[in-house]
Amino acid sequence: DAKTTQPPSMDCAEGRAANLPCNHSTISGNEYVYWYRQIHSQGPQYIIHGLKNNETNEMASLIITEDRKSSTLILPHATLRDTAVYYCIVRGLYNFNKFYFGSGTKLNVKP
Amino acid sequence: EAGVVQSPRYKIIEKKQPVAFWCNPISGHNTLYWYLQNLGQGPELLIRYENEEAVDDSQLPKDRFSAERLKGVDSTLKIQPAELGDSAVYLCASSLAGALYNEQFFGPGTRLTVL
C-alpha cells in the first residue's frame, strides 16, 4: 500500500473551513484514499473515502487531485468538537483490510 | 446499535505479569482487528480475524502475544509476560467481511500501563 505524508499539526478558527492536506504520490490506480479521525481517548472514526472523484458527506468533503497524488479533507465549518488527529490512509482494493495509519495531523480548532 | 465494546478500559500491571483484553464486535461483523497504538502514533495492526480464523497475524509478536476468537464473535488478546514496552493503547475494530469499502468501527481501546 502507498504511504502518505501529512503535516503533524494545523490550527483552525472555529466556524472557518479546515483544509487538511495529504500527499500520496506513490498511490496506484486501484488504491482508495480514506480519512479517519481520532478524538482524544477514543478509537478512530471513519470520515470519508474516495478513488478519483471528489466526495462529500455530512461530515466532510474530499478533494482528490487529477493525478491522484494528493488530496485534501475539508471540514466546512470547524467546531471545537472537530479537534482531533486526522489520518489519511491509502488502501489497496485487493488488500482492503489492511490500513496503514501513519502519524496523522493534529487539528486544533480554536475559539 | 451498540458499538465495539472493549474491556477493561484501563489496566495497570507489573512487568512479567500476564494481562488479557476483551473485545465484542458489532453484531454481524465477521472481521475483527486488534491494533496497538503507541503514544503520538497511529494504530498498527496486530492481527485480523475473518470469523474465527486469524488471516493476518504477521505483526503479532508471537513469543508473548496470543489472541483467540473461538466462536467467531468476541475475541481476547493476551500478553504473557508483559514488558515495559508493551505500555500502549490496544484497540479493537470490526467490519463487515467482504465489504468493498471496509469501513472499520473502532472500540474505545484499553490503555495498558506496565510498571
* Subunit contact B31:A97, Cβ cutoff 8 A: yes
> With 80 as the cut, is the pLDDT of residue B11 above it?
yes
- Phi, psi of B84, deg, nearest 5: -55, -40
CA distance A3 to B73: 32
Take residue B54 and report the three cell numbers written for it.
486469524
- Which pLDDT score is estimated for A1? 56
Mean pLDDT of B11-31: 95
Q: Tell me which of A30, A35, A99 to substitute to probe the interface with B (most B C-beta atoms closer than 10 Å).
A: A99
pLDDT digits (tens, 9 = 90+) for B56-98: 888 899 999 999 998 889 999 999 999 999 999 999 999 987 6
- Which pLDDT score is estimated for A34? 92
Which positions ≥6 away from B58 have C-beta within 8 Å?
none
- Which pLDDT score is estimated for A94? 61
Instruction: Please tell me whether residue A29 adopts helix, strand or coil conformation.
Output: coil
On whether the CB atoms of residues B33 and B45 are closer than 8 A, the answer is: yes
* Subunit contact B106:A43, Cβ cutoff 8 A: yes
Query: Which amino acid, A56?
Result: T
Closest CA to B109 of B2, B17, B7: B7
* Subunit contact B42:A32, Cβ cutoff 8 A: no
Partner residues linked to B35 by β-bridges: B45, B91
Closest CA to B66 of B82, B52, B50, B78: B78
CA distance A82 to A87: 13
CA distance A25 to A78: 27
Take residue B42 and report the three cell numbers written for it.
497511529
Under DSSP, the state recorded for B81 is S
- Which pLDDT score is estimated for A56? 96
Residues in chain A with CB shorter than 8 Å from the CB of B21 are none
Query: How does pLDDT run along chain A (111 residues), one tens digit per residue?
Result: 568 999 999 999 999 999 999 999 988 888 889 999 999 989 999 999 999 989 999 999 999 999 999 999 999 999 999 999 999 998 876 665 677 888 899 999 999
Instruction: Please tell me whether residue B84 adopts helix, strand or coil conformation.
Output: helix
Q: What is the largest CA-CA distance in chain B?
A: 42
Burial letters B47-82, b for 16+ CB under 10 A, else e: bbbbeeebebbeebeeeebbbebeeebebebebeeb
Under DSSP, the state recorded for B38 is -
Residues in chain A with CB shorter than 8 Å from the CB of B103 are 46, 49
pLDDT digits (tens, 9 = 90+) for B27-65: 999 999 999 999 999 999 999 998 999 988 888 999 999
Three-state SS annotation for A58-78: CCCEEEECCCCCEEEEEECCC
> Which residue is listed with cell 473485545?
B23
- Which pLDDT score is estimated for B33? 93
- Which pLDDT score is estimated for A70? 96
- Which pLDDT score is estimated for B23? 97
